[in-house]
Homo-oligomer: A and B are copies of this chain.
């Protein structure tokens, strides 16, 4: 059985702790948290430490902290020659201290407090400095999830940017839709089936095949009416820029 220590107590750390609790192939031997109370609802007290002096023996150390803290935490970690991975989509392998065998275990999902996630559906992106460690990370990945991908640091950077577009930016467009509804006394619920279907369509069509609406039809009257309707400068700018971008992508068949 693979023995794992998790370092961190944020969203990703907590979702990982919950997910490992459901697997038989992996034993979470300890979690490190500066403030142990952050994890006390998930683990018994004896499994939580806030001191690097007490860190347990394990096969893999998973550093699930904010990107800016990865370097510091990995250099403080008092182990040598061990497999140490971070969980960041954005940080390179080289942000880990070279005293250990380095790797990345990046679950590509949006983790929010108070919203559970089915980890079996989360793609896990793996990278290892040493070839022989890849197999172990793969075992760890498949213990939690159905799909595991080999993604190097340069690809992971690209993937993280792509994820910002399809998730963070998309969610913000939901926010604008919600604001427009509220201002016009329309329940936001009315848009939810549309949001769901839009996300569902690209499982069987490419985004270009799935594109509908006035921009791709170059329906000038509707585009003008919409711009005249929007009073908020920021929303107007976004409308204009994304409309142009849809039309450019359509010309270039992107």
Contacts and interface: CB of A to CB of B under 8 A. Distances in A.
Interface of A: 67-68, 90, 108-112, 114-115, 117, 121-123, 125, 147, 149, 151, 154-155, 157-181, 183-187, 189-216, 219, 221-222, 225-226, 229-230, 234-235, 237-239, 241-242, 244-246, 248-249, 254
A168 B213 contact: yes
Q: Is the interface of A mostly helix, strand, loop or mixed?
A: helix
- Oligomer copy total: 2
B239 A238 contact: no
Contact of A155 (B175, B186, B205): B186
A171 to B, nearest CB: 5
B212 A112 contact: yes
The 7 closest A-B pairs by CB, nearest first: A168-B213, A175-B207, A199-B199, A158-B184, A166-B177, A162-B177, A162-B180
B171 A159 contact: no
A78 B213 CA distance: 30
Contact of A173 (B154, B166, B178, B214): B166
